[in-house]
Amino acid sequence: MLLIFEQFLNGLQIALLLFLLAAGLTLVFGIMDMVNLAHGSLYMMGAYFAAVFTEWTGSFFLGAALALPAGALLGIVTEIIALRTLYTRDHLDQVLATFGLILFFNELARLMFGAGGMTIETPNWLQGQIEILPGLPYPSYRFLIILVGLLCAAFLYVLVQRTRLGMLIRAGASNREMVGALGINIKQLFTLVFGLGSALAALAGLMAGPVTTVQIGMGDNILILALVVIVIGGIGSLPGAFIAALAIGIIDTMGRAFLPNMLGAFLSPSDASTLATALSSMLIYILMAAVLVLRPAGLFPAPGR
């Protein structure tokens, strides 16, 4: 029972990182109708910024606090220089251009930070474990990820549902032209949303850094998962992204954790492990396919789309 709960926490932690990344992606996709594959690069750059700033300041929290605005700034600069001209083009052009940006950022990271990758030093009290339930020690850093992730989710909820900016974001996701026709500076709104998305990606990257180390191309794999999340959740929908990220994180972890034993009950150990490995890595895609069949627009499509 404790193991199931522990694995649930593991899944939750992956899910929240995924949500932070997917939130920016789904906002940009939903509001600007822009496929931004380079979102994973902003995740990577956020992690590198945090590693560098942590080294400079000697404090993980100062480093993280500096990396967030740096990530947002990088996103805004990228939007103004490279992406702004792509809004009116079709999706294929956007995919090609932002794929180019991935290569650009990977090479930039190699030039600036070297091919060897970096580690982010966390304070000692974050390297230990805390006993969240009797008999269940849990890595305190992973616990911090869960806390920060939940706080961010709450912050985003309030921002989108309760503020004027959030109203514009929701309106933009439903009908871009109408928002522009009502006299809102849509260019400024886009840049703002892009900056917000970039800061969230940077936050996800810098929080993943101490767990998975900072390396070139670290955003490429997780970006695919984030795309799966926004497709399942419904493009442009933050609650959708949250639910889908939870589903994916938990299904993925539970699959890895318990499928081999379950299959082992009626298959030979070697067959069970082969099948379980294959199945657990396919589970989330099976889920995506199922959602697409039943609800082609995703679980929570933005109204009016």
CB under 8 A: which stretch of 75-83, 157-165, 185-193, 208-216 binds another protein?
A: 208-216
CB nearer another protein, residue 102 or residue 179: 102
Q: What token pair was written down for 58?
A: 């000697």
In the complex, minimum distance from the CB of residue 27 to another protein, in angstroms, rounded to a whole number: 25
Contact in structure between 190 and 169 (CB atoms under 8 Å): no
CB of 269 to another protein, least distance (A): 8
CA-closest candidate to residue 172, choices 187, 154, 153: 187
Q: Does 110 bind another protein (CB under 8 A)?
A: yes
Q: Which of 139, 166, 180, 239 binds another protein (CB under 8 A)?
A: 139
- Binding of another protein by 6 (CB under 8 A): yes
**Which among 159-167, 170-178, 207-215, 233-241 is the span making contact with another protein, rule CB under 8 A?**
207-215
Using the rule CB under 8 A, which residue among 80, 89, 91, 127 binds another protein? Answer: 127
- Name residues whose C-beta falls within 8 Å of residue 242's C-beta, 6 or more positions apart in sequence: 19, 23, 153, 233
- Both tokens assigned to 71: 């990530």
Residue 78 or 122 having the CB closest to another protein: 122
Q: Which stretch binds another protein (CB under 8 A): 26-34, 133-141, 152-160, 286-294?
A: 133-141
Whose CA is closest to 39, among 86, 5, 78?
A: 78
Interacting span for another protein (CB under 8 A) from 27-35, 111-119, 149-157, 234-242: 111-119
Rule CB under 8 A: say whether 239 interacts with another protein. no
**3-state SS of 134-195?**
CCEEEEHHHHHHHHHHHHHHHHHHHHHHHCHHHHHHHHHHHCHHHHHHCCCCHHHHHHHHHH
Q: Total residues at the site for another protein (CB under 8 A)?
A: 41
Minimal CA–CA distance to 112: which of 44, 211, 203? 44
- Verify binding: residue 233, another protein, rule CB under 8 A: no
Q: Is 55 in the site for another protein (CB under 8 A)?
A: no
Q: Within 10 A of 83 (CB to CB), how many other CB atoms are there?
A: 22
Query: Does 273 help bind another protein (rule: CB under 8 A)?
Result: yes
Does residue number 26 form part of the binding site for another protein (CB under 8 A)? no
Closest by CA to 261, choosing from 6, 4, 2, is 4
Q: How far is CA 50 from CA 89, 114, 196, in A?
A: 34, 15, 17
Distances in whole angstroms, Cα of residue 105 to Cα of each of 46, 72, 87, 221, 257:
12, 15, 21, 15, 34
Contact residue for another protein among 211, 283, 287, 297 (CB under 8 A)? 211
Could you give the 3-state DSSP secondary structure of residue 244?
A: helix
Residue that is written with structure tokens 């090609």 in the block? 96
Nearer CB in complex with another protein: 94/122:
122
**Choices 34-42, 159-167, 204-212, 226-234; region in contact with another protein by CB under 8 A:** 204-212
Would you say 219 or 234 has its CB closer to another protein?
Answer: 219
Q: Which residues bind another protein (CB under 8 A)?
A: 2-3, 6-7, 10-11, 13-14, 106, 110, 115-119, 127-129, 137, 139, 141-142, 210-213, 215-218, 221, 253, 256-257, 260, 269, 273-274, 277, 280-281
